[in-house]
Amino acid sequence: MKIVIDAHGGDYAPLEIVKGAITSVNLIEDINIILAGKSSEIKSILDEYGYTGDRIEILEASEVITNEESPTAAIRAKKDSSLVVGLNKLKTDDDVIGMISAGSTGAVLSGGLFIIGRMDGVLRPSLAPTLPTLLGGKTMLIDCGANVDCKPEYLEQFAVMGTVYMQSMLKVQNPRVGLLNIGTEDKKGNALTHEAFELLKNNKKINFVGNVEARDILSGNVDVIVSDGFAGNIALKATEGAVMNVLKLMKNTINESGIGVKLGALMMKKAFKAIKSKMDYNTQGGSPFLGVNKIVLKTHGSSKAETILSCVKQVVEIHESGFIEKLRAGLLENV
Amino acid sequence: MKIVIDAHGGDYAPLEIVKGAITSVNLIEDINIILAGKSSEIKSILDEYGYTGDRIEILEASEVITNEESPTAAIRAKKDSSLVVGLNKLKTDDDVIGMISAGSTGAVLSGGLFIIGRMDGVLRPSLAPTLPTLLGGKTMLIDCGANVDCKPEYLEQFAVMGTVYMQSMLKVQNPRVGLLNIGTEDKKGNALTHEAFELLKNNKKINFVGNVEARDILSGNVDVIVSDGFAGNIALKATEGAVMNVLKLMKNTINESGIGVKLGALMMKKAFKAIKSKMDYNTQGGSPFLGVNKIVLKTHGSSKAETILSCVKQVVEIHESGFIEKLRAGLLENV
């Protein structure tokens, strides 16, 4: 089982990516990693960290796609970029089960779409992170930015894809699907959600529980939240931003306070740590790009070695869960 | 100067609303309050709290519009509801400067639109809360739910309305306007934001600083965030929900922890209180419905007396700032 990793994607590439690869082969049996990128840089990090095994392979790629470039143009122009070289390897080598990148979201999505290709029957592949909830479970938010202008039938299919994912990966038997909306009443929303609501309500393959509000991303009241990619991305970033900002405000308030508060904060350290780890999206792996022919995982730009390890585990789990085959079967039933 | 208040809007009506009215006339000079609602109920609360003055007047209305009703249908059908009776008073009495309601958002917006009416030149009135930021200032998010399907030119006008409001009410000289989007790069977004971006960039009346992400609602990096009402509402509720949920998680974690953590939390009480008050949207007054002919303020359903007082102050401030006249002038320049 081989997994390709884009060695030059993300804020801490290539160092943290390569370290993540080393940790992964050390901790997970039966996998080999292919690092796509600049051989000399990768090799010197492997040497530095004393990796001498044969389970990490380097696939030379001389270019890097940045966040500033137009994704589609970059995918076309930079044929020798770590992302494109990696995706081509994923496409052509049957032993490779998936690809991970912490690089430009747009480029990963464009590359996934144009190189790996849409699964038969899929209208629009979509980016679908599973987020930690207050109840300790996870909620999938689908779509989070791959499709900014959606038709109602795309949202219906997001619900099916999300349902299959939560069933196969998280063993949720009958995932509750909610439609992201501006109120919980049936008639709420815009033109898109009005039509999507009817399609979801009448779809027998899913367990549609109605409209949900953005606060349900954290509440754990539903398993899958369906949205167009624009609103989904807004909801995701508003949530992440608010969590981050409240924690920052807390830190600042403590720093500006007297010794009593500071001592109190010290005594609460364990509790703060528990909260932070519960809300920390970075240790949670990556967002799968659902609906393309093989596993493509986009992880946060700020990913470090630990996140890469989580992502490798996630790719293995998705592969072993048979998600892609189940999705293929699930979609065919639709016809 | 008279202000009408819907005595039966909100979760704590009529008790907290009437208490808020009493507090308002006690603390603010030169205003009279008209409470629209069921005379007997209102009177008994006034009696209970010993109010014997002549600055609170009751305007009999026998019906109440609930959150469960279709807003437009309810406005048409319930002519004797506290909301409709109040809005008609606002429309017809030149001494009445504004109306406050904690009732159904949809009904307040429908009523504002159909009874008070759009200002000449306004394409779409919009709901525009100003939210507390981490820097201690305020950011206006416009629109937050009045217009769920928007054209690019609506967003352009939201920017102008928000600019005039921040200038007259918060004395921000040259308010920075951002477009709510899924990334900060110029080309990001969906069909609507692409077109709106060009309009905003070329509008000489506003200080457009480009695309902003949902986390900027709290950051204080911009003064006005422009959005369609669907995405704006999602961003607002995601932010409120995340703040609320993190504080809840903190409380639960403390409760489940040992005596050391509990003692620490006790020592941090002052800091927690400061954080909570900074993030508490309920003491911040209401959201003005910008672009109708008189001042209509929608406040949170969970409003208590303190919030009503903030709202009364806000109506007085809007009135004294000359916002409506300035907006009228600002829009006319457009022609």
For residue range B274-289, what is the model confidence (pLDDT) as tens digits?
777 776 665 678 999 9
**B323 closest CA partner among B94, B119, B112, B132:** B119
CA nearest A254 in B: which residue? B271
User: Which SS3 state, helix, strand or coil, does residue A44 take?
Assistant: helix
Q: Which residue has the higher pLDDT, B267 or A297?
A: A297
For residue range A26-77, what is the model confidence (pLDDT) as tens digits?
999 999 999 999 999 999 999 999 999 999 999 999 999 998 899 999 999 9
pLDDT at position A68? 87
Tell me the residues of chain B between 210 and 229 that have a Cβ less than 8 Å away from chain A: 213-219, 229
CA distance A100 to A108: 9
Query: Average pLDDT of B146-167?
Result: 96
pLDDT at position B206? 95
> Who among B70, B148, B243 is closest to A246 (CB)?
B243
Phi, psi of A326 (to 5 degrees): -65, -40
- For B258, other C-beta atoms within 10 Å of its C-beta total 10
ipTM of predicted assembly, 2 dp: 0.90
Judged against a pLDDT cut of 70, whether residue B233 lies above it is answered with yes
Q: Does B180 touch chain A (CB under 8 A)?
A: yes
pLDDT at position A284? 72
Q: Does A276 touch chain B (CB under 8 A)?
A: no
Q: Does A332 touch chain B (CB under 8 A)?
A: no
Q: Do B241 and A187 touch (CB under 8 A)?
A: no
Query: Average pLDDT of B167-186?
Result: 94
> Who among A70, A148, A253 is closest to B275 (CB)?
A253
Q: Does A182 touch chain B (CB under 8 A)?
A: yes
Across chain A, mean pLDDT equals 92
Q: Do A234 and B235 touch (CB under 8 A)?
A: yes
User: In what side-by-side order are the strands of the sheet with B2-6?
Assistant: B56-60, B32-37, B2-6, B96-101, B295-298, B287-290, B126-127
Q: Do B260 and A254 touch (CB under 8 A)?
A: no
Please name each of the domains of chain B with its CATH number: 1-122+291-321 (3.40.718.10), 124-282 (3.40.718.10)
For residue range B193-221, what is the model confidence (pLDDT) as tens digits?
999 999 999 999 999 999 999 988 988 99
pTM of the model: 0.92
> Who among A182, A217, A266 is closest to B145 (CB)?
A182
Residue B56, beta-bridge partner list: B33
Retrieve residue A54's tokens: 């044969």
Query: Average pLDDT of B290-312?
Result: 95
Asked which of A147-156, B109-118, B239-248 is least confident by mean pLDDT, the reply is: B239-248
Give chain B positions within 8 Å (CB) of A278: 249
Please give the distance of CA B316 from its chain centroid, rounded to a whole number.
14
DSSP B55: S
